Amino acid sequence: MKHKLPTPSLSRAVARALCPATTTQCDSAFPSKTVTTANFEPSLAELRRHVRSSDFVAIDLEMSGITSAPWRESLEFDRSDVRYLKVRDSATKFAVVQFGVCPFRWDSSNNSFVAYPHSFYVFPRQEHAGLGPCDEFLWQTTSMDFLAKYQFDFNACIHEGISYLSREQERKALRSLNSTYDSEWSDICKLKDVRDMPLLSAADILFTARMKNKFREWRDGLLHEQNLEDQIQGDTGDSKFQEMFFEMHPALRLNGFTSHQLKLIQLVIRKHFKDLSYVSVNSEASNLQQLVVYTDSKDELNSLLKKVKEENHGAEKMKIQAAVGLRHVIDLLSSEQKLIVGHNCFLDLAHVYSKFIGPLPDTPEEFVTSVNKCFPHIVDTKILLNTNFMLHEKMKRSRKSLAAAFTSFCPQIAAGSTSSYPGSLSHVKVEVEVDDVRSSSWNPGGKHEAGYDAFMTGCIFAQLCSDLGIDYKLHDSSKQLALDEKLQNYVNRLYLSWMHGDIIDLSTGNKVGDSSPSYSLRKRYPKILFENIVIIWGFPSKLKANEVRECISKVFGPTSVVSVFHLDATAVFVQFSKTELVSDFLSLKNTLEGSDGALLVLHPLSKLLEGGNTCAANYGTYKEICGSPLSECLFADQVKAVGIKWKTKLPEFKIALGVEEHENPSVGNVNIAMETVKMTKPNTIDQLRNAPFRRQVSTHEVEDSCVAEANL
C-alpha cells in the first residue's frame, strides 16, 4: 500500500510553500507543472504539443472520495456487475479534485524518455448560470483527511480549480441555445415578453412621458439632417443616453436604467415609434448592451436584427466553449488516439467518462465499449504486473501498489536521479521536463499528487515494456507502441473485479478469465456462488456472524452454510452450500412470520428474527439496491430509503403466494436473555472498514487490501 510506506513529504510541503504558483524551480523538489485557472490556457497549448509528440500518456486522478456509504466499499461478495454499480455510484457522486497527465516521449538522442508531468487542479464550478457540472457533490471525510496528509492544497482547488463541461452537457447547452435561436427574435427584441403594463404609479407615467419626449427629440434631430457630430456634442450632458453608431445606424445606448424602466422604455418605443427599435446586444467585445436604434426602413431593421441575433448567438457559443475548460485535455487525449496508461484505472476511467463524456451507462459492457470509442488504446500497469508471469515473479514479495511497484521497477528514478545511479543497463532512463527546463535529478516527489502519480505510472510502464523486450532504440516513432505485438495481451484490458479476477476486454466488451499467476494463487479459496447467497438485514444489532451461522445451521444442517460475511452492522451475506437452500430459507422465514408467535419462539431461527424487522432476499435484491442513486449510511436504512417494503423476497416460482403480504409481525415482544457485549476482537467487517478506507483517496490500494483481508 502506498500510504503505508513512511515517506513524509516534508520537502514537498516546503517546496510548495516556497513556490506556490506554478513550477518548482528549486533543484531539489520533483519538478511538476501545477495548472490552475491562472495558467490554464498557455499550459494547455504546451500540453498539446507534448501529447502530439509523445509515445504514450500516463494519467492519474485524485477524487473527493471513494465510497458514499460503508456498505458500498468493495467487498468479497461483489459480483462483477455489482462492482460496476459501486464504481458508477462513486464516479457520479464524488468530484475529481486533481487530474494528473504525464506525456512520455522517447528521446533517441539521449536514449531516454522525457516526461512532462502536469497536475491540473479541478473544481466543478458553474461558471455561468445553468452551464456546468451538477452543483452538488460529495466529500468523504477520510479521503479529505488522506489528501490533507499529503499536503493537498484545498484552497488552490476551490479557488482556482479548472471547471469543465462534459460532451453531453455541451451538446445540451448548444441544443437549447439553437432552439432559442430558431424561435423568433427572442433575445433581441424583448418586446414579446412585455405585455401592456398598466401604468400604476405617477412615477411611471411621468417617466414614460419623459422618455417619449426624449426619443422624439433625438429622432427628430436625426431627421433634420443636422450634423451628427453636433448632436453628439450637444447631448453629452446626460450620461444615461450615449450616442453611438450601431452597425452603421445611429443609436442610443441606455445606461443605468432599472429593468422596470427598461420595460417601460420598450413599451414607449413600440407604441410610439415605428422607425426606432429596442435591441439588446450581447456580443463578445462588449457585455450586455441595451440600445435604441434608428432604421430607415423595415428591411433595414430586419437585416439589422438578423445580424444582432447572429452575434448574440456567437457570443453564447463562445461562453459554452469557454466552459468546456478541462475537457479540452480529455478531447486532446481522445483525438490524438495516444496510448493511455493508468494504474488500476477502472474507477479513474469511470470518473473521466462521467465527468467529461456523459452519464455512465447501466452495464459494464456498455461502459467499456463507449470508453473504447473515446480512447482506443488503454493499458493498465496492474494488468501487466499480474498477468505476466515474469513480472509477477519480480513483484512477488512486494505489494502491487503504485509506489511499491515504482520503487521495485524503477529504483533509480525513485531515488531521484537518473544519472548517478549505478544501475544496470536494463533500467530505462527517464528525464523530466517542465517549462522547457530538463532535469534528471530531484528529491523523491510527493505521492498522491496526481502529476507525480501519473509520472510513476508512466515510468513503471516504460520499464515493464523494456522488460517485455520492446527496444525503444529500434522503435520507429511513426509506429504506435500500442500496436506492438508484445503488448497485445495487455492492451485494452481492465480489472473489473480484482478479487474474482474478472478482466474485461475494452474492445469487445467480453469478460476474459484471469489466467494470472496471482489469481491462481487465490483460487484455493472457495469460489463464491452468487446464486447460493441470501442477504439478511434488519436483525438484532448485537447478532454476530457466527451466531447467524449457528442459528441457520440448526435448521438446515451443520454443512448448509458455507460462509457468513458482514456487509455492515445491519446486514449479512449467507452463502449456502446448495442453491435450493436459498429458496428453502426464504420460504421458511416467510412461513414462520406468517404463523403465530408461539411457533416462532421455539424455533431456532427466532434469534435471527427477533424484533420483527429482519428481512431477507436473494442476491438480485442486493444488486438492485446497489444500483439505487441513494446512499444511506447503514444498509438497512438504505433498503428503507429505496422503498422496499416487503420483508422476504420469495423465490420467483412462489411469487403467486404473495410477496408483499407479511408486513405484520406478531413476534415483537419475545423476551430473550440479553447478550453480553464484551470487547471482542473486531470481526471481519470491522477490519475491512478500519483498514483501508481511513486514509484513501485513490483506489489503487483498495482492492489490494480487501483481498489481503479476505485472505487472512
Partner 1 sequence: MASVFQLRRRFLCTSSKWKVKQVTTSNFEESLQEIKTHISSSDYVAVSMARTGSPSPPSWLRPLPFDTAQTAYSKARRAAHRFQVLHFAVCPFSVSHSDKLLAHPYNFVLFPRDELKMGMPAYSFSSQTSLLASMARRGFDFNACVYNGISYLSRAQESAAKVRLGAALPSLREVKSSSSPTVADTVFVERTRSRIKHWRKTFERSGTSTSRDEELINSLKNIVLGSEQFRSRPCMTIDVCSERQVQLILEMLVDHSDDLLPLLIPTKSGTTHALRIVLANSKEDKELLERELQNFEEEESKKIRGFREVIDSISASQKPVICYNCLNDCTLIHSKFIAPLPLEVDEFVSSLHSIFPNVLDINYLMKKHGTMRKVTNIPSAISYLNNNFFAPVDLEIPDQATVKEGKIHGLNALRLGYLFMKLCSILKISPNVTDSGNKHLAPELEDFTNVFHPCSPPIQDSSNAGDVGVWTNNTRKISCEHLVFLWGFNLGITAGMLKSLLRSSHNIFSREFDVKLVDKSCAIVVFWQPGVSKQFLDIMNSEEMSGDLKELVSNGLRVTSYETYDRICRLGLWEMDLRESLERALENSWCDEKSNCGTKSSEIHWYNDNVINLDDL
What residues make contact with partner 1 under the rule CB under 8 A?
A: 65, 67-70, 123-126, 132-133, 135-142, 144-145, 147-148, 153-155, 157-159, 193-195, 197, 541, 631, 633, 641, 643, 645, 660, 671, 673-679, 689-690, 694
Tell me how far, at minimum, the Cβ of 481 lies from partner 1, in Å. Answer: 38
> Which residue number, 193 or 471, has a Cβ lying nearer to partner 1?
193
Tell me how far, at minimum, the Cβ of 68 lies from partner 1, in Å. Answer: 6
Tell me how far, at minimum, the Cβ of 266 lies from partner 1, in Å. Answer: 12
Tell me how far, at minimum, the Cβ of 669 lies from partner 1, in Å. Answer: 12
Tell me how far, at minimum, the Cβ of 644 lies from partner 1, in Å. Answer: 11
> Which residue number, 5 or 134, has a Cβ lying nearer to partner 1?
134
> Which residue number, 144 or 332, has a Cβ lying nearer to partner 1?
144
CA distance linking residue 180 with residue 554, whole number of Å? 70
User: 438: part of which helix (H) or strand (E)?
Assistant: strand 437-439
> Which residue number, 68 or 290, has a Cβ lying nearer to partner 1?
68
Q: Judging by beta carbons within 10 Å of its beta carbon (0-12, 13-18, 19+), is residue 481 exposed, middle or buried?
A: buried
- The Cβ of residue 368 has, within 10 Å, a number of other Cβ atoms equal to 28
CA distance linking residue 648 with residue 37, whole number of Å? 54
For the chain, what's the residue count? Answer: 712
The SS3 assignment for 696 reads: coil
- The Cβ of residue 283 has, within 10 Å, a number of other Cβ atoms equal to 14
Tell me how far, at minimum, the Cβ of 145 lies from partner 1, in Å. Answer: 6
> Which residue number, 430 or 634, has a Cβ lying nearer to partner 1?
634
Angle between helices 327-336 and 40-52 (to 10 degrees): 10
Q: Judging by beta carbons within 10 Å of its beta carbon (0-12, 13-18, 19+), is residue 116 exposed, middle or buried?
A: buried
> Which residue number, 598 or 633, has a Cβ lying nearer to partner 1?
633
**CB of 457 within 8 A of CB of 402?**
yes
Tell me how far, at minimum, the Cβ of 558 lies from partner 1, in Å. Answer: 24
CA dihedral 24, 25, 26, 32 (to 10 degrees): 30
Tell me how far, at minimum, the Cβ of 138 lies from partner 1, in Å. Answer: 5
- Strand-pair partners of 94: 138
> Which residue number, 165 or 460, has a Cβ lying nearer to partner 1?
165
Residue 599: what are its φ and ψ, rounded to 5°? Answer: -65, -40
CA distances from 508 to 98, 436, 512 (A): 31, 41, 10
Q: How many CA atoms lie within 13 A of 133 on its CB side?
A: 27
Tell me how far, at minimum, the Cβ of 141 lies from partner 1, in Å. Answer: 5
> Which residue number, 109 or 141, has a Cβ lying nearer to partner 1?
141
Tell me how far, at minimum, the Cβ of 576 lies from partner 1, in Å. Answer: 30
CA distance linking residue 24 with residue 27, whole number of Å? 8
> Which residue number, 93 or 105, has a Cβ lying nearer to partner 1?
93
Tell me how far, at minimum, the Cβ of 135 lies from partner 1, in Å. Answer: 5
- The Cβ of residue 295 has, within 10 Å, a number of other Cβ atoms equal to 21
Record the cell numbers describing residue 170, joined without a space.
Answer: 455541451
> Which residue number, 305 or 644, has a Cβ lying nearer to partner 1?
644
Record the cell numbers describing residue 140, joined without a space.
Answer: 468523504
Q: Judging by beta carbons within 10 Å of its beta carbon (0-12, 13-18, 19+), is residue 417 exposed, middle or buried?
A: middle
Record the cell numbers describing residue 191, joined without a space.
Answer: 418586446
> Rg of the chain over CA atoms, in angstroms?
33
Tell which residue, 472, 478, 369, 489, has the closest CA to residue 428.
Answer: 472
CA distance linking residue 603 with residue 624, whole number of Å? 31
CA distance linking residue 100 with residue 90, whole number of Å? 19
> Which residue number, 580 or 686, has a Cβ lying nearer to partner 1?
686
Tell me how far, at minimum, the Cβ of 139 lies from partner 1, in Å. Answer: 6
Tell me how far, at minimum, the Cβ of 571 lies from partner 1, in Å. Answer: 15
> Which residue number, 132 or 451, has a Cβ lying nearer to partner 1?
132
- Amino acid making up residue 619: Y
> Which residue number, 128 or 373, has a Cβ lying nearer to partner 1?
128
First to last CA, the chain: 16
CA distances from 556 to 218, 270, 560, 650, 652 (A): 97, 86, 6, 18, 21
The SS3 assignment for 245 reads: strand
